[in-house]
Amino acid sequence: AQKVTQAQTEISVVEKEDVTLDCVYETRDTTYYLFWYKQPPSGELVFLIRRNSFDEQNEISGRYSWNFQKSTSSFNFTITASQVVDSAVYFCALIFDNYGQNFVFGPGTRLSVLP
């Protein structure tokens, strides 16, 4: 099965709090790519990060960090010191190299950061 699960439908935090968005995926291929996208109200998808299945290194980019663990099939996303501008819907997504090559999206997590 090709499936991405984001268990948190909606999250609300107060500005400056840290927040972690969960992503769990199912795969039947050894070669795949994991992504996080941000979708603001305009609808346009904003690319945040890509990870391939052979690179389990965690990554930090400013206030954003990602934790990739193949053992638990998870690719979690943490925003440190959240800001109001972080309010959006966040999608975790997956591409398999050998099956279809299309994006498989999770259901999304709507993050609201309150001032």
Partner 1 sequence: GAVVSQHPSWVICKSGTSVKIECRSLDFQATTMFWYRQFPKQSLMLMATSNEGSKATYEQGVEKDKFLINHASLTLSTLTVTSAHPEDSSFYICSARDSRSPSSYEQYFGPGTRLTVT
Q: Which positions touch partner 1 (CB under 8 A)?
A: 33, 35, 42-45, 47, 50, 52, 91, 95-97, 100-108
| Residue placing its CB nearer to partner 1 in the complex, 64 or 103 | 103
- Between CA 42 and CA 39 the distance in angstroms is 8
Query: 86 by DSSP, 3-state: which?
Result: helix
| Residue placing its CB nearer to partner 1 in the complex, 19 or 89 | 89
Shortest distance in whole angstroms from residue 33 CB to partner 1: 4
Kindly give the pairing relationship between strand 64-69 and strand 59-61. antiparallel
115 exposed, middle or buried (CB, 10 Å; 0-12, 13-18, 19+)?
exposed
Shortest distance in whole angstroms from residue 28 CB to partner 1: 15
| Residue placing its CB nearer to partner 1 in the complex, 53 or 78 | 53
